[in-house]
Amino acid sequence: MFFIMAVTLFTSRVVLNTLGVVDFGIYNVVGGVVAMMGILNGAMAVSTQRYLTFELGRGDMVRLKQVFSVCLTIFFLLSVIVVILAETIGLWFLHNEMVIPAERMTAANWVYQYSILACILSLVVNPFNATIIAHERMNVYAYVSILEVSLKLAVVYLLLVIPADRLSTYGLLILTSQAIVAFTYIVYCRHHFKETHYRFYWERPLFIELVSYSGWNLFGSVSSLVKGQGLNILLNMFFNPAVNAARGIAYQINSAITQFFTNFYTAVRPQITKYYAQGDMEDMLKLVFRSSKFSFYLIMLISMPIVIEAPYIVNLWLGQLPEYVVPFTRLIIVISAIDAMATPLMTAAHATGHIRLYQFSVGTMTILNLPISYVFLKLGGQPLTVFYVSLCISTICLFMRLWIVHRLMDFPVKRYIIQVFGSCVFICAVALIIPLTIHLLLRENFVNVMIVCLVCVLSTITTVYGLGLTKHERGLVVDILRKKILHKK
């Protein structure tokens, strides 16, 4: 993961320098338009993951194969819908509403078409990814991650040597790398999981159940899209592509950081659903509590040095310090940490299969990001305003999730607030004291920044271990270290 993060940050720097701020901003915002067309993808992906994991938890292999076949059929239908939407409404929006320099419109159109194909690929491969997660073959993601990193390096090299328009070339190279990764997942699944050998199967009640479940997930996907790409487009409407580029850089940094949480949570998610399917509520609640804390701690461990030393690190990384990148990065990381803490609550709600109240309540609150931000920007607000709004709404949504999960399964809300939310805030505050003090006392240079980063890591580890873990959890950590390190020696 550290290797992947390093390569991601390296390639981001080269791509920014090669494309330039304007083209980099265009690529990010055009991709956002396609993401809007692909909202059905996210909605159906969550449904597929839940139903495959649930059937696997019950041990019904025949039903598992039937669910997979119906899901893949639905994804084929969604691909057709996405193409129709993207080539009509999306294309009109690109040409009439986006702020793109006239001389770059041809390249933007090529990037748009490549992004549509990439969206179709992600649709088709979704049931296969869901199957890997349901079977908990997490090692597969490690190997494919190595492949993805290698492809990123290849893209950067080819971008520098191919004598063609770099923006459109970059779009084509990214599409090619995504196609290779998708093909790898599909081939692996067909060789290891019998249920992924697709044969057309139709069952109207199952189809309706999946689509109905996905309908509420669609509402949740729309809300997430509004928070992410919707705000990106809003920034483009009020400001220039350089602001979109700054946001894109900040999200790339955040993506590299949150990848640690994402991989950890990918392993946890199917276990929460399986515990519920088996009626083991005690172990499910323990896992929700622990995964909420550990998700926050993982992001805190990686991000604290970046948050404190962001100006120096970004300038060292990019060779320049674009406006808004530092404050964007800091705010986005804080928002991601709060969302990461809340994500296991979402999985607990999804495990029950009763998601209408959850998606309507949390989704509606999340959608408010767009109108509230629009009002502030219309009144003369600066780009940072949208992230302050997002931070406030993410915090509110955390407590809304707690209330909803309590209604679905008698969840111990008070204990969660004290043992998870309160503990995470307290640990973060304590861990910040020493590195922040050193940062304020030392002059900014490479050696001093490295000292602060090292102190951040040590402060986080010692504070989390000493104050953030229970006695039982500390015992688990010691056992893992003993098995993984001492045993190897």
Same domain? 126 vs 243: no
Give percent above pLDDT 70 in the chain. Answer: 93
Instruction: Report which of 340, 320, 316, 275 is spatially closest to residue 445, judged by C-alpha positions.
Output: 316
pLDDT at residue number 35 = 59
Instruction: Give the three-state DSSP class for 459.
Output: helix
pLDDT band for 430, please (50, 70, 90 cuts): very high
Does the residue 385 lie in any domain? Answer: yes
Same domain? 246 vs 184: no
Q: Show which of 227, 251, 283 is a domain's final residue.
A: 227
Q: Show which of 227, 262, 277 is a domain's final residue.
A: 227
153-201 confidence digits (pLDDT tens): 888 888 888 888 888 888 888 889 889 988 998 999 888 888 888 778 7
- Collect all residues with Cβ–Cβ distance below 8 Å to 250 and sequence separation of at least 6: 324, 325, 328, 329, 332
CA–CA dist 487, 489 (Å, integer): 5
Place of tokens 């109905």: 212
CA–CA dist 210, 73 (Å, integer): 12
Domain total for the chain?
2
Q: What is the DSSP letter of 193?
A: -
pLDDT at residue number 43 = 60
Does the residue 322 lie in any domain? Answer: yes
> Backbone phi, then psi, for 381, in 5-degree steps?
-65, 155
Same domain? 197 vs 284: no
Same domain? 277 vs 201: no
Same domain? 69 vs 207: yes
Does the residue 372 lie in any domain? Answer: yes
pLDDT at residue number 462 = 92
Question: In angstroms, what CA-CA distances link 326 with 33, 329, 331, 386?
Answer: 25, 5, 9, 15
351-362 confidence digits (pLDDT tens): 887 778 888 888
Highest mean pLDDT among 42-51, 217-226, 288-297: 288-297
Does the residue 454 lie in any domain? Answer: yes
Same domain? 331 vs 212: no
Q: Which domain holds residue 151?
A: 1-227
Q: Show which of 227, 260, 283 is a domain's final residue.
A: 227
7-11, 50-54, 128-132, 435-439: least confident range: 7-11
Instruction: Report which of 183, 211, 175, 190 is spatially closest to residue 47, judged by C-alpha positions.
Output: 211
Same domain? 257 vs 360: yes
Q: Are 397 and 362 in contact (CB under 8 A)?
A: yes
Same domain? 345 vs 405: yes
In this predicted structure, the answer to whether residue 489 has a pLDDT above a threshold of 50 is: no
Q: What is the DSSP letter of 230?
A: I
Highest mean pLDDT among 5-14, 246-255, 308-317: 308-317
Say whether pTM exceeds 0.85.
no
Does the residue 376 lie in any domain? Answer: yes
CA–CA dist 6, 199 (Å, integer): 42
pLDDT band for 75, please (50, 70, 90 cuts): confident
First to last CA, the chain: 23
Which tokens hold the place of 9? 């940050």
CA–CA dist 304, 236 (Å, integer): 29
CA–CA dist 251, 247 (Å, integer): 6
Residue scoring higher pLDDT (461 or 202): 461
Same domain? 462 vs 320: yes
pLDDT at residue number 33 = 61
Does the residue 232 lie in any domain? Answer: no
Same domain? 467 vs 356: yes
Same domain? 222 vs 248: no
Same domain? 316 vs 367: yes
Mutual angle of helices 105-134 and 2-37, in 10-degree steps = 110
